[in-house]
Structure 1
Amino acid sequence: MTDEELPPRQLLRIRGYSVAWLLPLLLLVLIILGDVYTHQRFRIITWIVLVPGTAAAICGVWTTAGFAVVALLAYFLVDIAWPLQYRAGLADFVLVAVGGGLATLACAFRLGVERRMLHMRDVVEITRRTVLRQLPATWAGLENAAVYLTADTDARVGGDFYDIQPGPYGSRVLVGDVQGKGLGAVATAAALLGSFREAAYHEPGLADVAARLETRMQRHGRHVAALGRGADGERFATALLIGFPVRESGYVGIVNFGHEPPLAVRAGGVAGGVRLLSLGEGLPLGMSEFADGPPRVHRVPLAADETLLLVTDGVTEARDGTGAFYPLATEVARAVAEDPRTADPARLAAMVRDGTLRHTGDRLGDDTTVFAVRRLAGWRPELLPVRGRLRP
């Protein structure tokens, strides 16, 4: 859990110990001193009602209740020290007492809301991790790194997804983004990932995997529409499906479902740099009725030391304060030129993450996925984690 996800009172810590109580204590002392050393016609002791109110915002229930009692006691002792004609009196005493009680109740309510919010975030995180399974850094002959950043708009979850599936016909990669947010988008992403994991293992051709994904998207849409959730049934998803063949290492197969094309990143040498893999215009998953035919598989040359960088629109549509988009290709080329090691998947994903956050001022407009993958150096086809005999 990050600092941004902790309740405010837990953020006020030094070496693991809470210091949230220092602020209301300081306020208490200042009000008492101010009342003692000001003119008798300018009494501020009644302001002591602010002390439990301040504690309610940053402390626990028992601490707030303690400050409510201390504030009431301090009011009584300071007030009776003044001559009778200058005392604030019983009415203000009751005000401080009622204020302390209300502050304690408000603190209990705040903590209850915070606990519910944290529970909801835990549920969201568990749901996300269930859909997006954790990948080893080296898996299926591929070195990979993934970054998932949530915009957390109105505490909703998005539909970004990614996975690698090894199989007898090679390793397949899927990265995409379901239109919309909420549990409906997560359910759609889960349906597509489930279909991908089966089809990518069993289907010999990448076009067959793509057809299975489109069929699953259509079936899922009809199912949710039959349940009366029409908006969820009309969702679509952009995606990139990439196949790394078992026997041939000089190219990859790519099917583009209306997604931003990937970047091929390479460090060093005359051929070093960044190139955009132009894949034409493909329709998103769920819109096959508008297509002229089955999805096209693009055969794209890819050197063994080139890293494929795949991102969702959280990166490509990231804007700064002036409305300018994040210049992804330019920034990647600059970073690789300055440090060739940036082409490594882990460094590349981290660089794009940091650049996107810096460009937007840490204010993401959409859930953001950065996925970098390249062939593992020294890898051999027989090392694929697949049982049974490899097929050519």
Structure 2
Amino acid sequence: MESQTILRSLPFAVMGAVAVLDLLAGPRLGFLSLLTLGPAFASVSGGVRYTAAVGGIALAICLPLSVYDHLLGRQQNMITFFTIAGVTAASMLASRLRNRRERELANVRLVAEAAQRVLLRPVPRRAGDLRIALSYTSAAADAQIGGDLYEVVTTPRGVRLLVGDVQGKGLDAVETAAWVLGAFREAAYDEAELADVGERLETSLSRHLGGEKFVTAVLAEVHDDEISLLNFGHPSPLVLGGDGSVHPAEPQEEAPPLGLVSLGSPRPKPYKIWFAEGDQILFYTDGVIEARDARGRFYPLEERAALLRAGEPQAALDCLRADLLAHVGGPLPDDAAMLLLRRQRS
């Protein structure tokens, strides 16, 4: 709001400065043509009428100054009047085009927000004895969705979740993310075993993806005092034990991403880890651990994991996200999603 106020007042400040300079210098230096800066600056922040009004004020200022400088009626002075009028007309056109593009951008943002609500629905903050927090940062400017994906569903067999990362960027990645999420939401309710959910995702993606495209993903199913994981080439979740320990939940054998399993590669095998009262597990995409600072150093997630132990889960995860952005010192080069589960029965 403050910057908008400054922009709105800038044309008048510039024209006032030009008038003062012309009064002090007289007709020798010829500052009157600089009054065109008024309507030019007005087109940056104002509408067509506002720009026209500023152009009219510029002409109104030019008239008495021309009399003061003994230039009124001379050819040079007439050229100055026409120049101000011409720049005002061009600025009005620029203002109209800018306003139209802003309306188009606003409509695109509304569509993007609607797409986000469909693709990346708000996850439940509580599910039984679980407390859930989420952070999603898109690398695309002014975008809220990208190639990273997540979902948490409560099924008759317990809480199941998915965190994944689509190869590539742009609309193709968003389309693939939508395909994966749709397949997971159905399979999570239909299939009895977590491995069967993974098979459904692979089957679905093998029909959708072409060439060597793939999706890294980790699926999870929460049980009493443990959690089952199924890792398709995704960064291993980070476990924060209630005793203060921090370690990645790595699978016994590496497996290929979704979309490549059907090419004959070995299927991933579900594995279980301890997940009791006070424990936490952080799911994340590679945009987190591959974020670099100005010296090229990767973000030390395990070292900064202590930030997740203080306060409520969402506040703690927001603190970790702020630390990640501070490490990079600017926009993230890749999408970054983080989903935190905390087992907290009370």
TM-score using structure 1 length: 0.82
Cα distance, 1:341 vs. partner?
Answer: 1.9
Task: Tell me if structure 1 keeps the 8 A contact 2:255–2:267.
Answer: no
Q: Distance in 2 between matches of 1:123 and 1:71?
A: 41
Q: Distance in 2 between matches of 1:90 and 1:79?
A: 10
Cα distance, 1:290 vs. partner?
Answer: 4.3
Structure 2: gaps (5+ residues): none
Q: Distance in 1 between matches of 2:169 and 2:161?
A: 23
Task: Tell me if structure 2 keeps the 8 A contact 1:308–1:373.
Answer: yes
CA RMSD in angstroms comes to 2.2
- 2:217 is matched with 239
Q: Distance in 1 between matches of 2:101 and 2:60?
A: 30
Listed as ranges, the matches of 1:131-170 within 5 Å are 131-139=119-127, 141-152=129-140, 157-170=145-158
Task: Give the aligned residue type for 2:268.
Answer: P
Task: Tell me if structure 2 keeps the 8 A contact 1:161–1:175.
Answer: yes
Structure 1: gaps (5+ residues): 1-9, 222-229, 379-392
Task: Tell me if structure 1 keeps the 8 A contact 2:237–2:284.
Answer: yes
Task: Tell me if structure 1 keeps the 8 A contact 2:164–2:215.
Answer: yes
- 2:296 is matched with 323
Task: Tell me if structure 1 keeps the 8 A contact 2:148–2:337.
Answer: yes
- Judged with a 3 Å threshold, the aligned counterparts in structure 2 of structure 1 residues 156 and 273 are, in CA distance, closer, same or farther, namely closer
- 1:25 is matched with 12
Cα distance, 1:84 vs. partner?
Answer: 4.1
Paired positions, count: 344
Q: Distance in 2 between matches of 1:85 and 1:178?
A: 68
Q: Distance in 2 between matches of 1:283 and 1:100?
A: 62
Q: Distance in 1 between matches of 2:315 and 2:240?
A: 12
Q: Distance in 2 between matches of 1:33 and 1:289?
A: 77
- Judged with a 3 Å threshold, the aligned counterparts in structure 2 of structure 1 residues 298 and 68 are, in CA distance, closer, same or farther, namely same
- 1:205 is matched with 193
Q: Distance in 2 between matches of 1:84 and 1:144?
A: 74
2:242 equivalent to 1:296: no
- Summarize deviations over 1:27-46 as a string: whole Å, max 9, x none: 11111111111143112111
Task: Tell me if structure 1 keeps the 8 A contact 2:135–2:339.
Answer: yes
- 1:346 is matched with 314
- 1:192 is matched with 180
Cα distance, 1:353 vs. partner?
Answer: 1.0
- 1:36 is matched with 23
Q: Which of 349, 353, 356 is equivalent to 2:324?
A: 356
- 2:59 is matched with 72
Q: Which of 372, 379, 384 is equivalent to 2:340?
A: 372
- Judged with a 3 Å threshold, the aligned counterparts in structure 2 of structure 1 residues 157 and 202 are, in CA distance, closer, same or farther, namely closer
Percent identical across equivalent pairs?
35
- 2:228 is matched with 253
2:305 equivalent to 1:332: yes
2:263 equivalent to 1:285: no
TM-score using structure 2 length: 0.92
